[in-house]
Amino acid sequence: MVDSPHYLPQRRVALESLDLRSIDAPIVDLIADFATLSHCFTLQSCYGHLLCSSAQAPNTLDRVPTGHKGSVRYRIAYIAVCIANDSSGRSLLESLRQVPAIDPEYIQFGSADWFWRRWPNSYALQVEPMRYKRRDEAVLQVAEALHVQTTRDVFFRELRTLVTRELGERHAG
């Protein structure tokens, strides 16, 4: 992490422009909770979309249907945050670094250069098969799509637990 004198104004701008109506419904609560933490702010997020037919809207929240036989186009689930370089931020960063342990072949943690140039101390977690980790989407066979779907669900549950713990520590301290 580096010192970033622009963190507070960038956080203010990000929170002022945050439109929870534009967030995928299953993660609105999570993004709203992240917004209450003073030591981070959300840059981007996506619930992850599993498209089983060309007739589906690209932002569908549908699950892979039981008995689906074809391939599935997966648009990645992720969250990108900017973190304050203070003790609370460093603690959050260490917690986020542990999330890939859920399924290391399908969850990645890192920092994209293009995010970092604009927002120092920005990090992303994504759910994506390792071989596609540098892509926004992938075409998967149904068995792997089902695995990704389950991993995505566990990923967001873990992030909720993490944020709840952060909120509890903030209120306790």
Q: Which pLDDT belongs to residue 50?
A: 97
Q: Which domain holds residue 30?
A: 7-172
Domain count within the chain: 1
What are 82-124's pLDDT values in tens digits?
999 999 999 999 999 999 999 999 999 999 888 889 999 999 9
What are 143-162's pLDDT values in tens digits?
999 999 999 999 999 999 99
Does residue 1 belong to any structural domain of this protein?
no
Q: Which pLDDT belongs to residue 115?
A: 85
- Rounded to two decimals, the pTM is 0.93
Does residue 61 belong to any structural domain of this protein?
yes
CATH number reported for the structural domain that contains residue 163 in this entry: 3.30.1960
pLDDT higher than 80, residue 172: no
Does residue 119 belong to any structural domain of this protein?
yes
Does residue 2 belong to any structural domain of this protein?
no
Q: Which pLDDT belongs to residue 97?
A: 97
> CB pairs under 8 A, 24+ apart, for 57-64?
59/24, 61/24, 61/25, 61/26, 63/149, 64/142, 64/145, 64/146, 64/149
